[in-house]
Amino acid sequence: MPIRMGLQIPNFSYGTGVELLYPTVIAQAQEAEAAGYDSVFLMDHFYQLPGMGSPDQPMLEAYTALGGLAAATQRVQLGTMVTGNSYRNPALLAKAVTTLDVMSQGRAILGIGTGWFEFEHESLGFEYGTFTDRFNKLGEALQIIVPMLAGERPTFTGEHYRVKEAIAEPRFRDHLPLLIGGKGEKKTIPLAAKHFDHLNISAGLDELPHKIEVVQRACEELGRDPATLETSSFVIALIDDGATEDMIPEEMRANMMVGSAAHIAEQIKSRVFDVGVDGVIISPVTVNGYEPGKATALAEALKPLIAG
């Protein structure tokens, strides 16, 4: 299923006791499904991100939480936006996502990237290194994960990882969609063109027309039809009739929209879909925790603008 409208759940700080935390996550996923979103994503972090909150605020482990959402939903695709490759052994990640695919009856998406949150790595003991180090680790990981997802039994020895006839069974299907997040023109976009089904372009909205041109060139250089590599943009949305642009924090200005559902929908159409990006993944932020109906209102405003 293509990603036209995805919803990312960006935090778990709802102003409730912990006993109501996960029921609120389920409520958001079920609202997204009822409203017509085609996918629901969680962040793959262990600490809340700078700008969103402090490290001690609630953060659920992504794949455990997604397993619960598999039982609480029927239609939406489920995944992370995106898995930090540096947090898990690649064979373990292949096992986790194939398990999610079985539990959800074929609705898992493997979103993956290099990992970037240095403080989180240092605090929890994950090796960080340079971007080149992390990108090389991702390249090795894909040589293990991709064949395992297809039912093969790879043997691989690299600088960072090794496996011997690694098996991931059971599997629900032979091709599980692969999504990568990033914007790098020298490494990430060419890697997406070579291996991936979907590229979430983590660039500012003003950069999207240029990035789409780069994606098309990268595909053409490999002899791939650019139309076969789906693209999406990540949009942070403060859905509030009284919200104005001066409320946007400086560090979020490149990807954040504010205002009524109708206003944000028009902005998404003109700045995302009209420049050639296939889909949008919306991360709704609120002032008072989860506010039921906000994501639905945005979906209802957006659907007629992107029909067809």
Q: What angle do CA 71, 74, 79 make, to 5 degrees?
A: 70
pLDDT tens digits, 189-224: 999 999 999 999 989 999 999 999 999 999 999 999
The total of structural domains in the chain comes to 1
From the number of C-beta atoms within 10 Å of its C-beta (0-12, 13-18, 19+), residue 51 rates as exposed
Q: What is the mean pLDDT of the chain?
A: 93
Alpha-carbon distance 15 to 290, whole Å?
9
User: What pLDDT digit, counting tens, does each position of 149-198 carry?
Assistant: 999 999 999 999 999 999 999 999 999 999 999 899 999 999 999 999 99
* CA distances to 52, 127, 134, 156, 227 from 118, in Å: 16, 9, 11, 28, 35
* pLDDT > 90? residue 4: yes
- Report helix, strand or coil for 230: strand
Residue 45: active-site member: yes
Exposure b/e, 183-195, CB count within 10 A at least 16 = b: bbeebbbbbbbee
pTM, two decimals, is 0.94
Per cent of the chain over pLDDT 90 is 81
- Give the pLDDT confidence score for residue 308 in this predicted structure: 60
Tell me, yes or no, if 169 is annotated catalytic: no
Closest CA to 134 of 79, 188, 80, 95: 188
- 19, 31, 33, 45: the catalytic one is 45
**The one catalytic residue among 31, 33, 61, 118:** 118
- Residue 137, domain extent: 5-306
Residue 246 reports pLDDT greater than 80: no
Q: What is the pLDDT of residues 35-91, one digit of tens each?
A: 999 999 999 999 988 878 889 999 999 999 999 999 999 999 999 999 999 999 999
CATH number at residue 201: 3.20.20.30
